[in-house]
Amino acid sequence: MTDAGSAGATGLSAVAVPLTANPAEVLEKVSFSADGLVPAIAQDSANGEVLMMAWMNAKSLEQTLLTGRATYWSRSRGELWRKGETSGHLQTVEQISLDCDGDTVLMQVSQQGPACHTGTRSCFTGRVVASAADRSDEGGQRA
């Protein structure tokens, strides 16, 4: 039973700190796709709201672990991007989980400002395209 010891990490909200002493151990557990990517979901640690989803490769996940700031891989630009680097809307990562088969990353984050580049709180805010209420319209049509 080893313990990393008390690093005196108090007040995590403002200051980003590394999340683990050994990113390699985390990376080993992740099941990356054939093109080396894994979807990463950012969730507001305060209320559980799903803020956004983006892609990570091993390098961006490592950077996230080392810096405590959510860092993604831009498929369109082919480069790492630290969330908020240009907008100031940083995501300070408080906890990272993998799903049951290790192919999805879930991050609990402290989000500064809007998470979406369009300015909405989350990437899903105001973008409902279907809801259970729609069923009443079509339910009688099918045999």
Task: Tell me the two tokens of residue 112.
Answer: 């500064």
Does 116 engage in binding with Zn ion (CB under 5 A)? yes
Nearer to Zn ion, 126 or 140 (CB): 126
Does 41 engage in binding with Zn ion (CB under 5 A)? no
Within 8 A by CB and 6+ apart from 41, the residues are 50, 52, 53, 104, 105, 106, 107
CB atoms within 10 A of CB 43: 21
CB of 81 to Zn ion, least distance (A): 13
Does 123 engage in binding with Zn ion (CB under 5 A)? yes
Nearer to Zn ion, 26 or 52 (CB): 52
CB atoms within 10 A of CB 99: 13
CB of 13 to Zn ion, least distance (A): 23
Does 50 engage in binding with Zn ion (CB under 5 A)? no
Nearer to Zn ion, 69 or 89 (CB): 89
Quickly list H helices, 1-143: 23-29, 58-67, 135-138
User: Which residue ranges make up the annotated binding site for Zn(2+)?
Assistant: 100, 116, 123
Note the residues at the interface with Zn ion (CB under 5 A).
Answer: 116, 123
